[in-house]
Amino acid sequence: MNDPILLFVYGLLMSGGSGFRALGLETKVRRLGPERLSGRLYHLGHYPGLIIGRHGLVHGELFSFSDPALLDALDAYELADPDNSTRSEYRRIEVDLLVSGRRAWTYEYNRSVKNRPIIATGNWRAR
């Protein structure tokens, strides 16, 4: 049996969010609980962007799932092209999580955050 795929989400893909509903994640993922990672969250208008780094904490949720095809659907939703990261709005990367100590996939913003406000709480829902 394959190991589950782990995914850290911090914005519209969190439980109940518009991306979560649009992709039908309620039937495709298992929510493992709240999670955090090191980085900063930026307000990009209707959605957030994550920049990984030593400063700041980003709050989100950890999901697990078994179907690798779901990564393709998530990549399409996040405009993340693994074959052409320079054109992608986001890029899927593996990160170290702070609560569980596990590694998971997440989506890092792949554009400039100059003049974009930081979400000081690191929590999209508490912005």
CATH number of domain containing 43: 3.10.490.10
Residue 47 has pLDDT above 90, yes or no: yes
Rounded CA separation 55/58 (Å): 10
Residue 9 has pLDDT above 70, yes or no: yes
Which pTM does this prediction carry? 0.95
Q: Is residue 42 part of a domain?
A: yes
Tokens of 82: 């693994």
Question: How far from the centroid of its chain's Cα atoms is residue 3's Cα?
Answer: 20
Q: Is residue 77 part of a domain?
A: yes
Q: Is residue 125 part of a domain?
A: no
Q: How many domains are there within the chain? A: 1
- Residues 78/79/80/81 CA torsion (nearest 10 deg): 150
Q: Is residue 126 part of a domain?
A: no
Q: Is residue 24 part of a domain?
A: yes
Burial class (CB in 10 A: 0-12, 13-18, 19+), 108: middle
**What are the tens digits of pLDDT across the range 66-117?**
999 999 999 999 999 999 988 999 999 999 999 999 999 999 999 999 999 9
- For residue 62, give its domain range: 5-120
